[in-house]
Structures are given as C-alpha cells and as structure tokens.
Structure 1
Amino acid sequence: MRVRTYEIGDTQQIVKLFYDTVHEVNIRHYTKAQVDAWAPADIDIESWTKSLSSKFTFVAEEGDKIAGFGELEASGHIDRFYCHQDFQRQGVGRLILAQIDLKARNLRIKKLFTEASITAKPFFESQGFIVVKKQKVERRGQKFINLAMEKFI
C-alpha cells in the first residue's frame, strides 16, 4: 500500500469509491434516502476534479486500485475522507491521515478539523480527534447528523 498525491486521472475511481462507500458502509448509520442525497447517482465529475485539485488530496492505492482518499485544506479542514469498502479496518485511513498530518505540520497548521459521519467518528476518535459538537446538516432535502471534530497537532 502506498500513499501519494492525487492525479486528475484518479477522479473517476475516487468518485466511484465515494459513491460505493456511502451506499455500502455509511448505510449502517443513515437511511437510504440520506445516502442517496449524500452520494447521488449523478455525481458531477468535472466539479469533483476541480475540488480534488484545489486541495492537498492524498490517495492510498494497492496496485492499481484506490483504497482510500483524504483532502486537506490550507485552513486545517479535512474535507472528504473515505476508505473503499474492501479496505475498511486495514490501516488505510491511518496512512492517509499520517500524510495529512505531515502536510499540515509542514504548513504550520496547528489544528485539524472535520465534520465526521457517525460511521467515521470512531476512526477519528482513535486518531486523537475529539467531538466539539453534534450537528444537523441538510443536503438535497435530507437532514443528517454529523460531528464537528478537531485535533491539535
């Protein structure tokens, strides 16, 4: 397993990973209507390419398969952070987060923060993040619970 920076050619595989993870993993904590709103079937590849390219995006890969990805913004915000359903609980998230942490330290960022799903909360807690608050957000007409979490580095 290796972690590297995002390349534009990764976008299709990342979008599929995102969609599949939300629909196969996050479905344990959210309803079908919620996951459909969170990860719709008609994801705009062009907007994802722009978004992934505008951040410090790290990709974990095993052979030619992307196992996970995570995005760091210059503010210390971790935006999207997903692990492929076939690579859950195998250290992929830790590898990606280690790269995010290293990049953040190089940028002299003092705090990492994210809005974690109920599903991702235990992972982030295991990596030293604390829950700041539980929040209700809305996406495409569906309300979701997520957790504002942070970690000082």
Structure 2
Amino acid sequence: MIKIRGYKESDANALWAIFYHTIRNINVRDYSQAQVEAWAPDSPDAEVWTNKMRSISPFVAEIEGKIVGYTDLQNDGLIDHFFCHYEYQGKGIGRRLMEYVLAEGQARGVKRFYSEVSITARPFYERFGFKVIEEQVVTLRGQKLKNFVMERNATIK
C-alpha cells in the first residue's frame, strides 16, 4: 500500500537519492549523459538541497516505510518536483502522488496546476489532462535541456 505523508527534515537525503537516481537511470533515455549529469550532479550542495526541500515542502510516498517518491504543490498551483524511485516505476506511485496533489489543490482552491515537465514525464502528465503550453530550453550548469511548460485546469476530472 502506498502511503502519502508530509515532508520531514530527515527525508532530505532519501529524496536527493530518488531525484539523482531517477534522472540518471530514467531520464537518460531522453537526455544525453552530459545533460543528466548537469541536472543531477555527483556532488550536490547538501545545504542548497535541504533548503529547497524545506521551501517546497513535498509530499512523500512510502511503501512499507521505504520512501519511493515525492512531489509538491505550491499555493499558485506549481508542481515544482515530481519524482518516483527508478526501481518502483510502473507500480502506481506516480498516479497516487498526482491524485493526491490534485485533491490537495482542489481543497486549497487551486484553479490551475502547472509544471515544467521533462521530455520523459510529458506522457505521464498528459494522462492526467495536462496540456503543453510552451516548449522551452533551459540552461543548467552549461547544458541546454528541452522541457515543457504544461498546465491543467483544476476542474478537469
């Protein structure tokens, strides 16, 4: 059973591991090795990461006490991070997290959900009614990465 709970400061390292390994093992299908290394560097700044997690206050997915994914929802409807453990993909974790975010947004009165979505994650977001608003190229540590600004009206069922 997938349990969703709030973020705890002690989750930061586990969430970094999910972020890092998912990008390095899954997103590498759609991005070059140099791009994934820029996106998820080998030597992260732990303080910057901890502060980022504190600022986005993610929802954490667990199976039998093991952290298997996380996402967040900002007050303006932004989904800043959305990652599922690379060894647990296809097991309903992403679906459960997205359903949780959409329900939480509805409870908060969010009218529009949006995110900057990787090439890899685009089909997943589309399954939940998100549409591409803009294709963009972002520069990260000297590498150019294509992604998509996607949005969804809160009233879509």
User: CA–CA distance in 1 between the matches of 2:138 and 2:150?
Assistant: 15
User: CA–CA distance in 2 between the matches of 1:51 and 1:41?
Assistant: 17
* Residue 77 (1) aligns with residue 78 (2): yes
Secondary structure of the 1:72 match is: coil
In the alignment, is the contact (CA less than 8 A) between 1:52 and 1:71 conserved in 2?
Answer: no
User: CA–CA distance in 2 between the matches of 1:22 and 1:151?
Assistant: 24
Please state which structure has a larger fraction of its residues in strand.
Answer: 1
In the alignment, is the contact (CA less than 8 A) between 2:56 and 2:80 conserved in 1?
Answer: no
* Residue 97 (1) aligns with residue 98 (2): yes
Where does structure 1 differ by over 4 angstroms across 4 or more consecutive aligned residues? Answer: none
Number of the residue aligned with 2:61: 60
Partner AA of 1:132 in structure 2: I
* Residue 143 (1) aligns with residue 141 (2): no
Q: CA RMSD in A?
A: 1.0
For residues 59-99 of structure 1, the C-alpha deviation after alignment (integer angstroms, 9 at most, x for no partner) is 11112321110011111110011011111111111111122
Number of the residue aligned with 1:108: 109
User: CA–CA distance in 2 between the matches of 1:141 and 1:29?
Assistant: 18
Gaps of 5+ in 1: none
TM-score by length of 1: 0.96
TM-score by length of 2: 0.93
Identity over aligned residues, as a percent?
39
Deviation at residue 47 of structure 1 after TM alignment: 2.0
Partner AA of 1:143 in structure 2: K
User: CA–CA distance in 2 between the matches of 1:120 and 1:55?
Assistant: 19
In the alignment, is the contact (CA less than 8 A) between 1:26 and 1:35 conserved in 2?
Answer: yes
Number of the residue aligned with 1:123: 124
User: CA–CA distance in 1 between the matches of 2:120 and 2:12?
Assistant: 23
* Residue 30 (1) aligns with residue 27 (2): no
Gaps of 5+ in 2: none
Secondary structure of the 2:76 match is: coil
Partner AA of 1:64 in structure 2: G
User: CA–CA distance in 2 between the matches of 1:105 and 1:46?
Assistant: 32
For residues 106-153 of structure 1, the C-alpha deviation after alignment (integer angstroms, 9 at most, x for no partner) is 221100000110000010001111111111110000001001100111
User: CA–CA distance in 1 between the matches of 2:47 and 2:94?
Assistant: 25
Partner AA of 1:52 in structure 2: M
User: CA–CA distance in 2 between the matches of 1:43 and 1:79?
Assistant: 18
Number of the residue aligned with 1:47: 48
User: CA–CA distance in 1 between the matches of 2:126 and 2:33?
Assistant: 26
Tell me the matched-pair count.
153
Number of the residue aligned with 1:6: 7
